[in-house]
Amino acid sequence: MSTEDSHDDHGHHLPAVEDWPRGFGEASWWPFVTAIGGAGIYVAAALYIIGSGEDPLVSPIIGQAVGIGSIGVLLIGIYGWLYHAFIVKFWERGESDDHGSGLRWGMIAFLGSELGTFGALFGYYFYIRAGATWPPAGMPEGLAGSLVLANTALLVASSFTLHWAEVSLRNENRRSFILGLLTTLILGTVFIGGQIVEYYEFIVHEGFTFTEGIYASAFFGLTGLHGLHVTLGAVLIGIVFVRALRGQYSARRHVSVTTASMYWHFVDVVWIFLVVVLYFGAEIGGAIQ
């Protein structure tokens, strides 16, 4: 890295110290900021829980305030991370295989941590499921209805359209690449809208809320976390789409597309598992018992 580049980036990154591994660029604050925001969301959830009930330990507004602040920090961290990893000096970097490989492995490591997060929540669900009378009180009827089936079809279709976009880019078919990205973004946005409609139906029409019981806490915890991931994924796809319109990708330059695609396929697989376990599994288990 030249002296000029190093000087320009020090406002956003830590200078590389002598014992920092060469070839890794500069140490960045942004992953740390993002992790602080993510951890704060869990702290906020804990504060909200202990602030609820007849004899709360803290005021409920504390958990809400911490949650709003943590989401803000998380979004700022993600923005800074993505901006300085993929956008800054994009055309000045050259076609470096090492750079692309490092970012892909970084995304794999990130998805591994996400897998651990979802795994912990699924473990909680299986634990309460094993020790509870099923179906629990307050569980709504018709969980696996037409809305969740339509939403699942939309999200699965979006993975295929994103794969089509990737293949088109590698074949230098820019029109199909942009069309595939746009279709994926539309399908993802409609999926988010469908989940909002589902929440509205459950909460307003059936009175099924987060505090309704053990199943409700697992349901809203898992589906809400997944909805947040889909929303972030849609933001990623949106950024890639805008950059694609500006001609910033080619068959040799597609690291951002590849990493965003990895993330999107991950949330797709998690949703399928969630539907099988949390929707169909709950109803089948209730019918058997």
Q: For 270-285, give the DSSP string.
A: HHHHHIIIIIIHHHHH
Average pLDDT over residues 119-145: 75
How crowded is residue 271: how many other Cβ atoms within 10 Å of its Cβ? 23
Residue keyed to tokens 């299986």: 126
**88's tokens:** 């800054």
Which residues, 6 or more positions from 193, have their beta carbon under 8 angstroms from its beta carbon?
A: none
Give the pLDDT of residue 109: 75
Mean pLDDT computed over 61-70: 87
Instruction: Identify whether the C-beta of residue 165 lies closer than 8 Å to the C-beta of residue 249.
Output: no
% of residues, the chain, pLDDT over 90:
24
- Cut 0.75: pTM above it: no
pLDDT band, residue 113 (cuts 50/70/90): confident
Closest of 257, 227, 222 to residue 239, by C-alpha: 257
**What Å distances lie between residue 195 and 48, 61, 216, CA to CA?**
23, 26, 15
Per the DSSP assignment, residues forming a β-bridge with 13 are 28
The answer for residues whose C-beta is within 8 angstroms of residue 246's C-beta and 6 or more apart is none
CA 243 to chain centre: 20
Answer whether residue 289 shows pLDDT above 60. no
| Cα(88)–Cα(235) distance, integer angstroms | 18
User: Is residue 268 a contact partner of residue 237, using CB atoms and an 8 Å limit?
Assistant: no
Q: Is the pLDDT of residue 249 over 50?
A: yes
- Which backbone phi and psi does 27 adopt, to 5 degrees? -70, 135
Angle between helices 146-170 and 255-274 (to 10 degrees): 160
Distances, alpha carbon 183 to alpha carbons 2, 59, 92, 154, 265, in Å: 40, 44, 30, 11, 15
Which sign, positive or negative, has the C-alpha torsion 128, 134, 139, 145?
Answer: positive
CA dist 134 and 79 (Å) reads: 43
Higher-scoring residue by pLDDT: 266, 78: 266
Answer yes or no: is pLDDT of 216 > 70. yes
Q: Is the pLDDT of residue 21 over 60?
A: no
Instruction: Select from 79, 69, 67 the least CA-distant residue to 28.
Output: 79
Contact assessment for residue 181 and residue 240, using Cβ atoms and an 8 Å cutoff = yes
Q: What pLDDT is attached to residue 225?
A: 87
pLDDT bucket at 11, cuts 50 / 70 / 90: very low
